[in-house]
Amino acid sequence: MSLRVVSSFILVLCINSQPESAIHLGNETDRLALLAFKSLITSDPIRVLSSWNNSLHFCNWQGVTCSYRHQRITALNLTSKSLVGSISPHVANLTFLRAIDLSNNSFHGTIPRDIGRLFRLKVLSLSENSLQGEIPSNLTGLSDLRIFDLVYNELVGRFPNDLDSFTKLVRLGLSVNNLSGRISPSLGNLSSLTHLSLARNGIEGSIPHELGRIAGLQFLQLSGNKLSGTIPPSLYNLSSIYFFSVADNQLHGSLPPDLGLSLPNLRMLYTGANRFTGHIPISITNASGLTELYFTDNDFTGPAPTDLGNLKGLVRLGLGGNRLESDDLSLLTSLNNCSGLIVLGIGANIMKGRLPSSIANLSTQLEILSIAANQISGTIPPGIENLVSLTALDMNRCLLTDTIPPSIGKLRKLQYLDLSRNGFTGRIPPSIGNITQMLKLYLEVNHLSGSIPSSLGNYQSLQILHLYQNKLDGSIPKEVVSLSSLSISFNLAGNSLTGPLPVEVGSMKNLPELDISENRLSGEIPVSLGECVSLERLYMQGNFFQGGVPSTFNNLKGIGELDLSRNNLSGRIPSYLEKLNGLKYLNLSFNNLDGEVPSGGIFRNGSAISVLGNSKLCGGITTLQLPACPITTSKKKRRSHVIRIVIPVISVVSFIILAFCLFAALHFIRKKPESEKSSDDQFLMVSYAELLKATDGFSSANLIGTGSYGSVFKGILDRDEKVVAVKVLNLQQRGASKSFIAECEALRNIRHRNLVKILTSCSSIDFKGNDFKALVFEFMPNGSLEEWLHPKADGPHQLRNLSFVQRLNIAIDVASALDYLHQGSQQPIAHRDLKPSNVLLDEDMNVHVGDFGLARFLTKTSNSSSQNQSNTVVIKGSIGYVAPEYGMGGEASTHGYVYSYGILVLEMFRGKRPSDDMFKDGLSLHTFAKMALPKHVMEIADPSLLSETGEEQGATTSLGNSRNARSKMHDCLVSVVRIGIACSAESSRERMEMRDVVMEMFAIRDVFLGLRFQRKTKIKKVK
């Protein structure tokens, strides 16, 4: 026998004898690998791995599949078994594995790199877990892989660029991770791919046109990334595609007119939340198999498609958030043909016309219906109760009128109902309380009247109840305030509700926001309100509550905003408010509180609290400018004994000393030179020489402003190195001396944080023997509002702009100063020259209104509560800011300077002076702003404000953020302009009170910052 034959015989023996021992060894390896896998499972609630024990062969263990011949494990399928733990690297010892499916569990940790050794693997599905880390690079060695699914994990790292090595891949899913980078064009080489899912990562860049080479692609999901550019035309050639989603990206461009013809097999199309423009393709109805169609939140224009009813299999349709137009709403009628329709949204478009009665004939399977934010008029039609499956009905911000039909109470599955901001009248139908599954109910900003139905207390799951800004009256039903389920917001503000706040209010222990402001509620604040321990925002202002602030408010540890202003509260301010560390805003103004204001906690921040209008308060921080508190009775008693002993001893000595001091003082005053006499006893004197030195000889380099009666210089006083502003009067100008006296007289009688503070004055003679008068003020580092609104080319603010919220803050500060001058000081004062150059800004951009040279004290008349008049008819001021009645000899009043404020506000947000060249031929800043309301208000706004919305040229912010910012700014700007118009009304009787202006401006700012909900502005009707 030859050597070759012997060798072949031995080889055959080896081959025939090897399998049995190898298989036995392999079986044991597989069993041990499974046990190692089981050892890292920390939770198995349904005991799926209980069969993994020695009583059964491992091929009979649940989730395990073995090959028939060799009894080796070929598949491990434990999907949706609620398992918790990490994936053991020993799974790589299952070398015959062709499929691993561990999806929909709670596996954590990383994907073991060892899996890359399973060269037979065809299916790897680890989706819907909590896996982290990067995708192992060696997985690309799995050349036989058909399905690779890692969706819904927390994987990080850049998008793998070598996925094209999976040449046989049919399904690739990497959605809902934190992958970044770009989509590799090489994915176009995966010619076998049918499913590609990359949604909700951080992938950037454009969509590669190479994806259009995957001819058999049926499922494409790219939504929720940062993709930009346009959709490559090559993708419209994928005729086999049935699922196409690119929603929530930054894509732009238009969709092709023949879209429905190019993709005939399309079933689901999602393009929402992008920047697409143009018309919605009419050809879309040719894709007759469409079941889900979303074009929401883009910039599509033109007519809304009226023949979408031809898509009889349509289940979900979203057209909201575009600029689609319709005059007859025939679209809604056509959709009567879609008997399986579940979701329909056409909100936030430009659709007009009366709401058709055919809406009641929509699918009885309809669950969500939104027509909100359109110009749809009419009434809610009879038959609305036919939509028995509705869970959400949104009709807010339309033009609907008449009453809310009682039949709406038959929609028993409703969980979300929004009929707010319409023109509904009549009563709230009690039947609405029959919808016991209600979660959120919005009926605010209508004309609803009558009482609040007690049937609303039937809601056991209600989270939000908004009834504010209606005409509701009567008392608050105790059944409603007993709803412990309220956990987001309860708002009844701006109605005419009366009676006490029911003690049952303490049941709302999970409520973060309660607003019952601007009603006619009375009685004491119930102590049970302190049981609402989750309260973060509590607004009770504008009522008739009396008594003290309840001691139980000490339990409101999470309270951040508390407004009890404009009530009849009395007693002391509770000291426990100092210890509420989360409190950021506290308004106790215009009550009857007395005693000492605390000085700790929030009371250290003068801008976060308000105690105006409480004449009996004292103490507190200096910025509140309250009088010092007198010595208390207890302290007097402790000292009385000592006083009775000491007085007899020192009385004679005191009298002698006092007499001597008086004599010396009188002698000193007679000898005192004229150059050192002060015009105002309140201030320490400063000499001409000191001011000359402080300003470097009144150098032009230190000149910071000029006015009608003098010039203002920057200076540094030697006595304390303090930077000051020195206003030097030009006594050659007629009226300058009178202005000096008026300003001194005004400033000695007023104290407010938003008024300029005078430090000292000088009435002397200069070195040439001429009369010299000057006032010394605190220096304002940020100059005047004039310099910010209209910066000079070489000025300090030419490259800086005031933000929207900064302008709101300035408007609030100026309004607060005027309100104090008109109402808060001992005698009303008219500033008479309010304009941007007299609005000064400190280092923190806080306002200090200055220049009281034209100020006048007003005498309160007994026959008018609306005007404070003086007997003077000599009115001065600056052109454009002076009220029109003064040109006709009208008397000075606080309302005249409300007009100046209104013009100032319009100038701040328009960016144009009232004297600008554009305002001529009867067009004024007031009428210009009035014509722009409400639709064109953003068009007339100061262009620099648009940068905050991402709308300026070259903006790179996302559409969603830009749109939300622009919408919020638009709404707030409309409210601000309305205030400016109302304040600058031609008739003084139509102008707002400054007290109301302050409150409304605060509310607008809070809405803009997201601190509060939008509320109706109390503005007299603009005719």
Cα dihedral 672→674→676→679 (10° resolution):
120
pLDDT of residue 651: 55
How many whole angstroms separate alpha carbon 994 and alpha carbon 814? 10
Which contiguous run of DSSP H or E holds residue 741? helix 736-749
Rg (CA), the chain: 39
Does this model's pTM top 0.75? My answer is no
Residue 17 has pLDDT above 90, yes or no: no
- Which has the closest alpha carbon to 762: 702, 837, 697, 679? 679
pLDDT of residue 667: 47
pLDDT tens-digit profile of 386-417?
999 999 999 999 999 999 999 999 999 999 99
Where is average pLDDT lowest: 224-233, 453-462, 845-854?
A: 845-854
Where is average pLDDT lowest: 202-216, 343-357, 753-767, 938-952?
A: 938-952
pLDDT of residue 965: 66
Max mean pLDDT range (649-653, 871-875, 976-980, 986-990): 976-980
Report, as an integer, the average pLDDT of 638-653.
Answer: 51
Confidence at 22, pLDDT banded by 50, 70, 90: very low
pLDDT of residue 957: 34
819 is catalytic: no
DSSP code per residue over 32-87: HHHHHHHHTEEE-TT-TTTT-STTS-GGGSTTEEE-TTT--EEEEE-TTS--EEE-
How many whole angstroms separate alpha carbon 698 and alpha carbon 714? 9
pLDDT of residue 929: 85
- Count Cβ atoms within 10 A of the Cβ of residue 774 and give its class: 0-12 exposed, 13-18 middle, 19 or more buried: buried
Topology given in CATH for the domain delimited by 790-1023 = Transferase(Phosphotransferase); domain 1 (1.10.510)
pLDDT of residue 512: 94
How is residue 513 written in tokens? 């926001």
pLDDT of residue 279: 95
Give the residue, 111 or 623, on which the prediction is more confident.
111
pLDDT tens-digit profile of 164-217?
788 888 999 999 889 899 998 989 988 899 999 999 999 999 999 999 999 999
How many whole angstroms separate alpha carbon 610 and alpha carbon 340? 58
Query: Which residue ranges make up each domain of the chain?
Result: 18-221, 790-1023
Confidence at 2, pLDDT banded by 50, 70, 90: very low
- Which has the closest alpha carbon to 940: 983, 899, 907, 979? 907
Report, as an integer, the average pLDDT of 986-994.
Answer: 82
Cα dihedral 229→230→234→240 (10° resolution):
110
Catalytic choice (394, 833, 942, 1006): 833
pLDDT of residue 1003: 82
Residue 871 has pLDDT above 50, yes or no: no
pLDDT tens-digit profile of 760-815?
888 788 777 788 888 888 888 888 888 888 887 666 655 568 888 889 989 998 88
Cα–Cα distances (Å) from 348 to 65, 299, 420, in that order, read 54, 11, 14
Give the residue, 35 or 867, on which the prediction is more confident.
35
Report, as an integer, the average pLDDT of 729-733.
Answer: 76
How is residue 611 written in tokens? 């105690």
Residue 81 has pLDDT above 90, yes or no: yes
Say how far residue 460 (Cα) sits from the centre of its chain.
29
Query: CATH topology of 18-221 equal to that of 790-1023?
Result: no
Confidence at 658, pLDDT banded by 50, 70, 90: low
Do 778 and 760 form a contact (C-beta atoms < 8 A)?
A: no
Confidence at 1006, pLDDT banded by 50, 70, 90: confident
Cα–Cα distances (Å) from 605 to 556, 609, 611, 624, in that order, read 20, 7, 12, 10
How is residue 227 written in tokens? 């993709």
Do 881 and 906 form a contact (C-beta atoms < 8 A)?
A: no
- Strands, DSSP E only, in 667-729? 684-685, 703-706, 710-717, 722-729
pLDDT of residue 935: 76
- CA atoms 793, 799, 800, 801: torsion sign: positive
Residue 867 has pLDDT above 50, yes or no: no
What's the CATH architecture for 18-221? Alpha-Beta Horseshoe (3.80)
